[in-house]
């Protein structure tokens, strides 16, 4: 076996430039695939984390009849005395925070412009509001007893040319089906670095949201964050009751989960196409080597070397090219992924309906993806090398000695 690899190494050294460029082609293909896999995994991971932090939480406890799509404010669709329910949930060891929230639809009017928004009544001191508090770029955060202030997303504020301290009119649906309009002062501008969320969400203290919507002591949901999302099922079992519906982060992010599964399927198809193209470069190099060494192969066959040995020799050459290309691909791919992990790629205000896409895409490469793509690249290259290896093994000694064509 070692003798075969010594011969293979010597044969590759006959045309070093061609051998290097063939291996480099595979390396660049693998590097590209590692970057693509990392970017897709990173985007899906960040989108899920953003959704959990900002929108769904790990769990939401709602009234049985509550329909999220309708954003109902009818008392029978809301949770009564939500602070007490949240306090009870918060006593569970696996729960990091539980806080009531009230959702309503509204319209922000500033000058001649108006924009539809989603209004969220929050409990300002709650730890669940950390993304908004930490993302404050202008002004100050809300206080629980504030009756005239709101927080506005930076994307929406820029769209309406507003800043902290400006006054806007807010039209809000109420529990009896009417619309109430009141002036509010923008206490602060926040940025979650998720344009799709920041351009459509206005925050106000829960007490004020309950008053303007006439929801009184009711809330749409109890928003729950866990210490470990792997404990979701255990908490659901502990909270199971006939009084409320309990929605998990998987159920509330069903579109994102399905999108991730679909994208993974399409990406694997793309991976195979890219690897097939790069493997073709190595195959072409080996075919050229076969025709260049026709007389040499004829001599070896005439001396009694079996066809299987000839095939093994070319397989050894392809495996050396594959290993060299994979090594270059891992190094180059590692550099690209490191850059994308640290700095990301800015995409601005782009996203999909129902999915929170950040303004930057950061890579996240898993060990599983690295191993899978590496093995796949090796296997595809070796399988593709079957043709030139068989071409060499099937040559007739007499024809090969005279530089003829193989059988």
Q: Say if residues 199 and 349 touch (Cβ distance below 8 Å).
A: yes
Considering the domain architecture, whether residues 121 and 171 belong to the same structural domain is answered as yes
Range of the domain at 388: 2-51+256-401
Considering the domain architecture, whether residues 99 and 196 belong to the same structural domain is answered as yes
Q: What is the mean pLDDT of residues 58-79?
A: 91
Could you tell me which residues are beta bridge partners of residue 188? 139, 151
pLDDT of residue 402: 57
Name which residue leads in pLDDT, 280 or 399.
280
Identify the band that residue 407 occupies on the pLDDT scale cut at 50, 70 and 90: very low
Nearest to 387 by CA among 279, 299, 298, 252: 279
Angle between helices 386-393 and 307-342 (to 10 degrees): 160
pLDDT of residue 145: 92
Indicate the range of 3-12, 14-23, 150-159, 259-268 predicted with least confidence: 3-12
Indicate the range of 185-189, 200-204, 395-399 predicted with least confidence: 395-399
Q: What is the mean pLDDT of residues 310-330?
A: 86
Q: What is the mean pLDDT of residues 303-312?
A: 72
Nearest to 100 by CA among 113, 90, 114: 90
Q: What is the mean pLDDT of residues 212-230?
A: 94
Does residue 70 form part of some domain? Answer: yes
Q: Which residues contact 86 (CB under 8 A, 6 or more apart)?
A: 98, 99, 100, 222
Considering the domain architecture, whether residues 265 and 339 belong to the same structural domain is answered as yes
Q: What's the pLDDT tens digit per position in 253-287?
A: 888 888 888 888 888 888 888 888 888 888 888 78
Question: With helix as H, strand as E and coil as C, how does the chain read?
Answer: CHHHHHHHHHHHHCCHHHHHHHHHHHHHHHHHHHHHHHHHHHHHHHHHHHHHHHHHCCEEEEECCCCCCCCCCCHHHCEECHHHHHHHHHCCCCEEEEEEEEEEEEEEEECCEEEEEEEEEECCCCHHHHHHHHCEEEECCCCCCCCCEEEEEHHHHHHCCCCCCCEEEEEEECCCCCEEEEEEEEEEEECCCCHHHHCCEEEEEHHHHHHHCCCCCEECEEEEEECCHHHHHHHHHHHCCCCEEEEEHHHHCHHHHHHHHHHHHHHHHHHHHHHHHHHHHHHHHHHHHHHHCHHHHHHHHHCCCCHHHHHHHHHHHHHHHHHHHHHHHHHHHHHHHHHHHHCCEECCCCCECCECCCCEECCCCCHHHHHHHHHHHHHHHHHHCHHHHHHHHCCCHHHHHCCCCCC
Considering the domain architecture, whether residues 118 and 18 belong to the same structural domain is answered as no
Q: Tell me how many degrees the CA angle 50-56-61 measures, rounded to the nearest 5.
A: 160
Indicate the range of 140-154, 159-173, 243-257 predicted with least confidence: 243-257
- Distance separating alpha carbons of residues 93 and 78, to the nearest angstrom: 26
pLDDT of residue 243: 83
Indicate the range of 6-10, 63-67, 102-106, 142-146 predicted with least confidence: 6-10
Q: Say if residues 177 and 215 touch (Cβ distance below 8 Å).
A: no
Does residue 251 form part of some domain? Answer: no
Residue 401 has pLDDT above 60, yes or no: no
Considering the domain architecture, whether residues 329 and 397 belong to the same structural domain is answered as yes
Considering the domain architecture, whether residues 225 and 303 belong to the same structural domain is answered as no
Does residue 327 form part of some domain? Answer: yes
Considering the domain architecture, whether residues 268 and 322 belong to the same structural domain is answered as yes
Considering the domain architecture, whether residues 126 and 168 belong to the same structural domain is answered as yes
- Distance separating alpha carbons of residues 374 and 379, to the nearest angstrom: 9
Does residue 324 form part of some domain? Answer: yes
Name which residue leads in pLDDT, 31 or 311.
31
Considering the domain architecture, whether residues 274 and 367 belong to the same structural domain is answered as yes
Indicate the range of 207-216, 293-302, 394-403 predicted with least confidence: 394-403
Among 214, 241, 268, residue at a domain's last position: 241
Task: Kindly report the backbone phi and psi dihedral angles of residue 136, in degrees, each rounded to the nearest multiple of 5, phi listed first.
Answer: -65, 120
Does residue 407 form part of some domain? Answer: no
Identify the band that residue 395 occupies on the pLDDT scale cut at 50, 70 and 90: low
Task: Tally Cβ neighbours within 10 Å of residue 239.
Answer: 18
pLDDT of residue 304: 67
Q: What is the pTM of this model?
A: 0.78
Q: Tokens 């001396």 label which residue?
A: 303
Among 241, 270, 288, residue at a domain's last position: 241
pLDDT of residue 327: 95
Instruction: Find the farthest-apart pair of alpha carbons in the chain and give their distance in angstroms, rounded.
Output: 98
Among 241, 275, 297, residue at a domain's last position: 241
pLDDT of residue 350: 55
Average pLDDT, the chain: 87
Does residue 60 form part of some domain? Answer: no
Identify the top-confidence range among 52-66, 233-247, 349-363.
52-66
Does residue 250 form part of some domain? Answer: no
Considering the domain architecture, whether residues 208 and 114 belong to the same structural domain is answered as yes
Residue 351 has pLDDT above 50, yes or no: no
Query: Considering its fold, how many domains does the chain have in total?
Result: 2
Identify the band that residue 370 occupies on the pLDDT scale cut at 50, 70 and 90: very high
Considering the domain architecture, whether residues 330 and 235 belong to the same structural domain is answered as no
- Distance separating alpha carbons of residues 359 and 157, to the nearest angstrom: 16
Does residue 56 form part of some domain? Answer: no
pLDDT of residue 346: 83
Considering the domain architecture, whether residues 21 and 81 belong to the same structural domain is answered as no
């Amino acid at each position: 076996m070692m003798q075969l690899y010594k011969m293979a190494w010597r044969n590759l050294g006959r045309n070093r430039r061609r051998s290097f460029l063939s291996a480099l082609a595979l390396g660049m293909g693998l590097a590209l695939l590692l970057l693509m896999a990392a970017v897709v995994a990173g985007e899906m991971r960040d989108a899920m984390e953003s959704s959990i932090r900002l929108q769904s939480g790990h769990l939401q406890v709602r009234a049985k009849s509550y329909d999220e799509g309708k954003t109902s404010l009818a008392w029978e669709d809301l949770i009564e005395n939500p602070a007490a329910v949240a306090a009870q949930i918060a006593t569970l060891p696996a729960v990091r925070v539980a806080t009531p929230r009230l959702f309503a639809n509204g319209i922000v009017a500033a000058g001649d412009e108006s924009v539809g928004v989603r209004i969220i009544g929050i409990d300002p001191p709650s730890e669940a509001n950390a993304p908004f508090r930490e993302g404050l770029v202008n002004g100050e955060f809300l206080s629980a007893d504030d009756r005239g202030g709101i927080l506005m997303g930076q994307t929406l504020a820029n769209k309406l040319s507003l800043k902290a301290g400006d006054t806007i009119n807010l039209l809000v649906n109420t529990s009896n089906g009417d619309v109430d309009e009141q002036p509010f002062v923008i206490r602060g501008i926040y940025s979650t670095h998720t344009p799709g969320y920041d351009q459509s969400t206005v925050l106000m203290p829960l007490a004020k949201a309950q008053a303007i919507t006439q929801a009184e002591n009711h809330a749409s949901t109890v928003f729950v964050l866990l210490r470990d999302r792997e404990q979701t099922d255990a908490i659901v079992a502990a909270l199971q009751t006939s009084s409320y519906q309990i929605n998990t982060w998987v159920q509330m992010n069903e579109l994102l989960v399905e999108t991730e599964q679909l994208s993974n399927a399409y990406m694997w198809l793309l991976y195979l196409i890219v690897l097939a193209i790069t493997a073709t470069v190595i195959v072409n190099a080996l075919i050229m080597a076969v025709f260049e060494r026709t007389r040499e192969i004829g001599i070896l066959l005439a001396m009694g070397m079996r066809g299987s040995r000839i095939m093994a020799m070319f397989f050894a050459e392809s495996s050396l090219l594959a290993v060299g290309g994979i090594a270059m691909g891992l190094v180059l791919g590692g550099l690209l992924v490191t850059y994308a992990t640290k700095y990301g790629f800015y995409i601005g205000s782009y996203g999909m309906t129902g999915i929170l896409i950040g303004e930057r895409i950061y890579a996240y490469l898993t060990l599983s993806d690295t191993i899978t793509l590496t093995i796949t690249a090796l296997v595809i290259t070796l399988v593709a090398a079957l043709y030139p290896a068989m071409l060499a093994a099937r040559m007739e000694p007499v024809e090969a000695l005279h530089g003829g064509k193989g059988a």
